[in-house]
Structures are given as C-alpha cells and as structure tokens.
Amino acid sequence: MTETADTEVDAKGLRCPMPLLKAKRALNGMQSGEVLRVLSTDAGSARDFAVFSEQSGHALLASEQDGDVYTLLLRKS
C-alpha cells in the first residue's frame, strides 16, 4: 500500500459492526478526498468495507490482509 492516509482508525480486536461504525465516524470528520486507513482483525471486514464503499460512494482504494490484520484504505467522496 503506497497511499498515505490522512486519518487512521485502529479497530483491531473489535467485532462487526464496530470497525465499520468507527470508520463512518472518522469519515464524517474528514474532508472530501482525504484517505482513511482502517486496521481490523474482524474476518468480515474486507466484505463489509467493499459493500460499504459501493453504498456510500467512498472509494475503497485497497484491502489487504497481513496475518490476522486487515488494512483497508478509503477515500472520502
């Protein structure tokens, strides 16, 4: 992942729907075009954030897994 994040949410150890709720809260405080990095250990995160990006209009720039940690990058619409 080469994209630099403007804001990061560490949601490791939290279960669905908390990583997504924390991300939504962070996005609400961000400017259009800024990038949010979310770190999560919830196995459903990749799917949840893909659906969220389609429904919300925020761009899912990357979704990667390293061990049990998922790193997701979203650009605010």
Nearest Cα to Cα of residue 5 among 24, 26, 25: 26
b/e map 18-29, b = 16+ CB within 10 Å = ebbebbeebbee
- The answer to whether 19 is a known catalytic residue is no
Cβ neighbour number for residue 40 with a 10 Å cutoff: 29
Residue in 5, 16, 30, 61 annotated catalytic: 16
Which active-site residues does the annotation give?
16
